Amino acid sequence: MNKLYFKFGAMGSSKSAQALIAEFNYRQRGYNVLMLKPSVDTRDGYGVIASRIGIKSPCILFDKNENLFDLVKAQKGVQDVIVDEAQFCTKEQIDQLHDLTENGVVVLCYGLKTNFKGELFEGSKRLLEIAESLQEIKSVCRCGAKATMNARIINGKVTTEGDEILIGGDEAYEAMCYNCFKKYQREPLPKSKNDFEQE
């Protein structure tokens, strides 16, 4: 039986880049790879998985009502499935991805573990429950500690108010350690790295 993999990290930890590198490696070895991404993530344009470092690849978009088992099986001969932004999957869709592994398909999911409040996304929760392989992709907070939180920044401060999904990049979010996440809910973020180092 093949495995369901979940590779997770905070924003900016190179999740999409690693997904694209995995695609390249599989294709170079002759495997038939299918790239998928939830349609709610429109940051990189329509039907594209892109990394901040400039690499990208076409993908198939799906919405929360799509049966991912059926979607993949409709594409003949798929051996490997790579899902970017897997946190936006539903519980049922993660179960469908696991069903694919029982039918000879390797499934690699990349995504965030928690939302901007520090709470598990539905898809991530299910992946943590049933994936056979879990791997954290590490990133660093501006203070130098390990980043574990996806802080949403509004008017220069960390907020925990608002809808769970707000698609954005560096202009709206920052990866932080838990201590900085709590601290900058109470006080404004320094305007620059130099200001931060002088604190």
pLDDT tens digits for range 149-160: 999 998 888 998
Neighbours of 120 (CB within 10 A): 17
Average pLDDT score over residue span 5-26: 95
Q: Which amino acid is residue 102, in one-letter code?
A: E
For the chain, what is the domain count? 2
Identify the pLDDT of residue 1.
57
Identify the pLDDT of residue 143.
93
Q: Could you give the CA distance from residue 74 to residue 183 in angstroms, rounded to a whole number?
A: 49
Share of the chain above pLDDT 90, in %: 73
Q: Which amino acid is residue 72, in one-letter code?
A: V
Query: Are residues 100 and 172 part of one domain?
Result: no
Identify the pLDDT of residue 170.
58
Task: Please enumerate in sequence order all residues whose Cβ is within 8 A of that of 27, keeping only pairs 6 or more positions apart, or say none.
Answer: 33
Query: Are residues 169 and 130 part of one domain?
Result: no
pLDDT, mean over the chain = 90
Query: Are residues 158 and 100 part of one domain?
Result: no
Question: Given the structure tokens 């919405």, which residue do they identify?
Answer: 63
Query: Are residues 113 and 160 part of one domain?
Result: no
Residues labelled as active-site residues: 85
Contact 65, 112 (CB under 8 A): no
Confidence (pTM): 0.89
Q: Could you give the CA distance from residue 126 to residue 56 in angstroms, rounded to a whole number?
A: 27
Residue at 144 is within a domain: no
Residue at 141 is within a domain: no
Query: Are residues 119 and 83 part of one domain?
Result: yes
Neighbours of 174 (CB within 10 A): 22
Q: Could you give the CA distance from residue 25 to residue 111 in angstroms, rounded to a whole number?
A: 19
Query: Are residues 169 and 126 part of one domain?
Result: no
Average pLDDT score over residue span 30-52: 87
Query: Are residues 175 and 95 part of one domain?
Result: no
Task: Please enumerate in sequence order all residues whose Cβ is within 8 A of that of 118, keeping only pairs 6 or more positions apart, or say none.
Answer: 149, 160, 178, 181
Query: Are residues 77 and 120 part of one domain?
Result: yes
Boundary-marking domain end, from 96, 111, 136: 136
What are the tens digits of pLDDT across the range 43-80? 766 788 988 888 899 999 999 999 999 999 999 999 99
Calculate the dihedral angle through the C-alpha atoms of 80, 135, 43, 81, rounding to the nearest 10 degrees. Answer: 10
Contact 59, 84 (CB under 8 A): yes
Query: Are residues 99 and 36 part of one domain?
Result: yes
Domain assignment of residue 192, given as a range: 149-197
